[in-house]
Structure 1
Amino acid sequence: MDTGLTVLVGIVIFVGIVGIVVPILPGAILSLAAILVWALLDRSATAWIVLAAAVVLIGASQVVKYVVPERRLRDSGVPRRSMIVGVLLGIVGFFVIPVVGMFVGFPLGVYLSEAQRLRTHAEAWTSTKHALKATGLSILIEFIGTSLAAAVWLIAVLFLV
């Protein structure tokens, strides 16, 4: 396979990983799509094995990133409704305040929903901190899964193909 195309695939994988941390792009999907394109162009057995490993790693991280934080939120008493309000306000914030609006809107939405539900600042703030920790954990899980898939791809490119 052409070196230029391999470098381009690597750049797209990297942009996907950045998109996980700065959630503007669908990072894991972008990285997986880049590995898929690489496998389709390379057509070697190694490429298909790398693609299969990437699907497993990214797929597992997509499942775990919802299951583990959801369980922690449920255990801490934060209702799903507050998370939905946070996400909706985060989306609005994304368009109202470019770049940082999502990071302002999400916690504000969770806090407002929890303040309405719990009626005290202290309890609402505690719930908001639980929601932020769960969101951070979700991002970390997706980041690890996609980074592992990228590492498998990089090892294959450097040493096997």
Structure 2
Amino acid sequence: MLDEAPFGLVLIDSARLLRARCDRALDAAQLGLTAGEARALFYVNRHPGSRQAALAAFMGVEPMTLVGYLDRLESLGHILREPDPTDRRAKTVRLAPEAEPLLEQVLAVFRGVRESVLEDFAPEEFDRFKSMLARLRARLLADERDGVAP
């Protein structure tokens, strides 16, 4: 029996627990959004005017999953879908101006979770950790894009 869990399992377990904490924090904030919808709102703001398929790729979700989030966000008036000027069959998505205060609330919820779970980390530890995770994500995305097998 191994004493130490493999890196991948520790990372997966940590991500699952963090996601659950974010879900509970969003519920407690009573913003009326699921974690997936909140995440979609963030990515729509981060990549304004992107096509739905591109947003799904940025988020790492199936297009049909994203469509469900976008349908709800649109029905609540938080996003705007518009025909892509280069391809009228495609839709681009952007944040509705009225949703900016909601996005700020969502980001405040996530900041609160981050501060809570990382309170034992020194600021330089957090900065290094975030940088390392960003590099890991970039590597994994590149490998996936290039079809690199495990």
TM-score by length of 1: 0.31
Greater strand fraction, Structure 1 or Structure 2: 2
Greater helix fraction, Structure 1 or Structure 2: 1
| Greater RCO, CA 8 A, separation 6+ | 1
TM-score by length of 2: 0.33
